[in-house]
């Protein structure tokens, strides 16, 4: 797939979620609906609905902005590089985080999309390590560089922060990284892996997908050289031509006596 459709795909789903959480936030403030009270309340029947609602609720402008910035980057990476798995990983993370928080979380009302942020960060970080994919390992390093400090917020070291929600999200992402370790993006294929390791030429399907790759161009040129006749083949085709001489009588006008002349004719030698 080309990069432009893939980028659009990633931005489309990321933007939809962000528009929803910001819309809920402003509607709650403008109309004073008190939606924040409908968060995830662990082990309470009235908190069951919070399994679905708590990622869309935020307590302050700084709260929603911090989650927006992290979610935009991490969710964009998920949908861009794990296109075939993105929706499944996202939906399972969404519900698994809420269920784990409701089952094992501490008392109180838990709100915010930070659980999803931790689920995405955990999946992207561990998936690259498990797959040992060079491209995905770069994403692992990027996530570690940008969000490595988030690991401390999975511990009860800061008041009014749902560390249980963070831990539930991280566990959900880790389990999904292991579960889908054999699905999704694969390692890139290089010519040396195909020709030098297996002694085979570059496969046609790979060359069609990478027409401008140097290995493809070299392979195409090599194939053309094999199809064109070589100098040795051209010399072999002319080596079968033989010449024979025949004597014919010709009258000498001065002496009126016949003389012999030889003529040359070309014939094809039979194959040996």
Q: Which residue has the higher pLDDT, 168 or 148?
A: 168
Q: Which CATH architecture has domain 3-179?
A: Up-down Bundle (1.20)
Asked whether residue 198 carries a pLDDT value surpassing 50, the answer given is no
Can you tell me the distance from the alpha carbon of 153 to that of 176, in angstroms, rounded to the nearest whole number? 21
pTM: 0.70
pLDDT tens for 6-38 read: 899 999 999 999 999 999 999 999 999 999 999
Question: At which residue do the structure tokens 């290089």 appear?
Answer: 190
Can you tell me the distance from the alpha carbon of 46 to that of 218, in angstroms, rounded to the nearest whole number? 67
Which tokens sit at 57? 């609720």
Helix (H) or strand (E) holding 154: none
What proportion of the chain, given as a percentage, has pLDDT over 90? 57
Distance (Å) of CA 74 to CA 70, 90, 120, 180, 253: 6, 11, 6, 18, 107
What is the torsional sign of CA 60, 63, 69, 75?
negative
Asked whether residue 62 carries a pLDDT value surpassing 70, the answer given is yes
């Amino acid at each position: 797939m080309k990069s432009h459709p893939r980028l659009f795909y990633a931005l489309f789903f990321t933007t939809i979620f962000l528009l929803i959480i910001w819309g809920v936030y402003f509607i709650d403030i403008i109309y004073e609906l008190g939606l924040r009270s409908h968060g995830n309340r662990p082990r309470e029947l009235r908190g069951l609905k919070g399994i679905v609602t708590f990622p869309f609720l935020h307590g302050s402008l700084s709260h929603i902005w911090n989650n927006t910035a992290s979610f935009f980057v991490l969710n964009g990476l998920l949908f861009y590089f794990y296109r075939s798995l993105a929706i499944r990983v996202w939906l399972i993370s969404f519900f698994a985080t809420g269920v784990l928080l409701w089952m094992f979380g501490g008392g109180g009302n838990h709100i915010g999309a930070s659980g999803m942020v931790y689920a995405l960060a955990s999946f992207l970080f561990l998936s690259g390590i498990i797959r040992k994919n060079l491209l995905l390992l770069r994403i692992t390093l990027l996530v570690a560089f940008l969000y490595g400090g988030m690991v401390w917020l999975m511990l009860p070291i800061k008041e009014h922060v749902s560390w249980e929600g963070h831990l539930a999200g991280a566990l959900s992402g880790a389990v999904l990284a292991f579960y889908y370790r054999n699905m999704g993006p694969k390692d890139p294929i290089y010519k040396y892996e195909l020709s030098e390791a297996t002694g085979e030429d570059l496969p046609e399907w790979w060359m069609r997908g990478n027409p401008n790759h140097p290995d493809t161009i070299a392979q195409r040129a090599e194939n053309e050289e094999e199809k064109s006749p070589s100098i040795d083949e051209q010399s072999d085709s002319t080596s079968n031509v033989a010449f024979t001489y025949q004597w014919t009588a010709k009258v000498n006008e001065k002496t009126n006596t016949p003389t012999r002349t030889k003529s040359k004719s070309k014939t094809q030698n039979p194959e040996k």
